[in-house]
Structure 1
Amino acid sequence: MWFPVREKGISLLVVILLISIHCLAQGITVDRLKDMVKAEEYERVVAVASQLLGNSKDPLEKARLYQLKADALYYINNLPESLENYLFALEAASKSEVSDLLLMLECNSHVGFCYRELGIYSKALDYYFKALDYAIALQDSTELATAYYNVGSGYQSLGDFANAIDYTNKAYEIDRVKRDTSAIAFDLKQMGVLSEENGNYKRAIAHYKESILMHMKGGGNANSVAERMNSIGLAYQQLGMMDSALYYVQQSLQAHQALNDSINIAERWVNIGSIYNQQKRYREARGLAELAMHYYEGLEQSEHLSSARLTLAENFMLTGQFARAEALLTENLNFSKKNQLLTQLKDSYGLLAEVKEYKGQYMEALDAFKQYKLLEDSTLTLFNRNAISELNIKYAVDVKEQENTILRLENEVQQSEIAGQDVRERWLLFSLAIVVISLVSITLALMSRYKAKRLQLEAEVNEMRTKIKVVLNQDTQALNMELDDINQRLSQPLSEREFEILTHALSNLNNSEIAEKVFVSVNTVKYHLKNIYEKLGVTNRKEALQFALSTPKE
């Protein structure tokens, strides 16, 4: 049996030798690696780039090889190694006598992206600022606006909404000078979102309204206007101005009905139902919430279905149907956990705490509220530990109360000594010792239990954060789109360059591949895609594809 095994071994060696000779003859270069990235041969790119790096002597070439390797690792979702190779690329480029500003800008931006994805927001912000410096050096207004926007997003992740608004405003100012109405409208919308997160709902409303005016000035599509109308209504709802809130959300509903946009129509039913609940129009609110639930149950719209259930559960609670509210919230908790809906999970716990309090189940209400506060902490900012701080305050209050109890008991002992009741004095001293020991034991046990519970809840929240990221891959075929067909549906037409980038985006090319095709940077591609999405009234490639598929051919 040794001979066939030996034959197989020799054959394998021959194959390896032939492949090695083929690779040497082929002379794989950086350009060849770029082609491999375009072909999505990511594992091969990593292997070949690693081999070439061992032989490369030119620092700039090494920097480009590290960058390509990092790109490939990013696409296969290996963020730690991708980050490491982007940093290697920056180190190698810094040793080169030839400066490649675009490479430095892109690598610093991508390091920022990696740190942000890994939840290390302070480092992400540092590298966004470095990318901003290179954008300034390049004197490219598009890259500069994108860099300002990234810095703003970095501050947003850290919960520094004032600086986030400031840098987003800088991007807005550049877009305004360029008179790019679509980009201006997008910037204003983002400034509205940041103002809401900062609790400044009046300013958010002003930004949303100005964004609508810019859309109308630039001939923006009805879908974008309808979305902003809804945002205005929800901001008014936060201010307690229910009549204004209802007006704008109903305006949004009418616009979506005119567009026959069934998903957004159902979402507006939920929003209006929530407003009706606060206006005590409970029957109308319940009807809309149930209507939305029936619609979403037939679709894969888990987030919207959860929101509809919350509105209905709130209705049950406000009308005194606590058992029905609790049952629906319990179902929604399990549903939100299964589908990794962090915001809906948080809101379910918050509403459940209210229901438990109404029922007089105060300990269960407190447990639900603690879960709510921990989840609120993770959705607002990962570095803001308000929930844990509140728990620490509760621990301190509990300890203080125990200390006060001990002091009261000691005072009783002193009074018994004054009375001269020796027997009672000994009994009280003995009882006091027992009580003190018990109270100290209880206090220590409570502190230990609360601390363990805090660490457990914090670990669960961190685990939930890491599971939320989902990568969706979609293959598409050539769409045979015509620019005239697309522009007939738009108030603000696409340019030739935007149509070219849209065509590449819907042909299963990633941003790096598109950048290679049209000879621009990745950030420029992202900027064009942002404008394209605004003109189409969509938010991602999947919705852009649906728009293209629904466009009639002449």
Structure 2
Amino acid sequence: YAYKNIGSIYHQKQDWKRAEEYYLNAKEVAWIVQEYEVYVSCFSNLAEVSEQQGQLKTGIRFAQQGIEAAKMYGLLPKHIEAIKFYYLLLRKSNQIELALAVHEEYMALKDSLFRLETVAQIEEIESKYEKAEQQKEIALLTAQQELTKSELSRKQQVQIFLVGASALSIIILMLVIYSQRQKARLRHEILEGQLNEYRIRLNEMLGKYEGDFSLSLEELNGRVSNPISEREYEVLKMIFTQKTNQEIADELYLSINTVKSHLKNLYDKLGVNNRGDVVKLIASRK
């Protein structure tokens, strides 16, 4: 490349001898290192320099060598370049018939190059089109993938919402049930307390007696077949104070179920069914 560039400089300065010298050196080195385009191009440069020096035969010989080299290495553009100089040199040397034949070959080569360039351009366009189609397909697939992800995300959000709503509904239902049960329990306790109070009042009405409860445990056990325990005796005295089951339990530090159990035992041992019967029985000293 250095040889060829220096040759071009001398060519521009019209120092034909120096230009020819460096073009020859460039041609030899290009052939050694197998730079065939530079090698063929040097023949065209030498043909032009020979023409400028008036050495038409030498120029024709260089042009012919360039044509042969271009054919050998399949370098169509360089072939056209070499045959162009060959045609010009033939015309200048008045070899008109041969020049016309070469010109036809030159035009045919240009047509071939044009067709090749057209095919190359078409291939390039097709390649770009295929690449664009691929990019379009990739973009479409990417968009579909994003849409699928978005749809899955939306479905997951809906599922999470439904699960959350179901859980919240269950919690609310449990709270409602618990609240209803608490209300029912409280209502039951209130009703039981009122019922006990009514029972006490009814028993007072049915079994009125004068004075306080003064019957001793020994005297009471002397009149029943099954002995009454001290705790049952304490519960029995509480009946005469008009206390409810809960109040008896609180005062004696017992559970209400224990109080009920003592009352049942008392009823069985005394042969009665309720508090009123107990009051009437004790009041009558039977």
TM-score interval for Structure 1 and Structure 2 normalised by the shorter chain: 0.3 to 0.5
Normalising by structure 2, we get a TM-score of: 0.38
Higher RCO structure (Cα 8 Å, ≥6 apart): 2
Normalising by structure 1, we get a TM-score of: 0.21
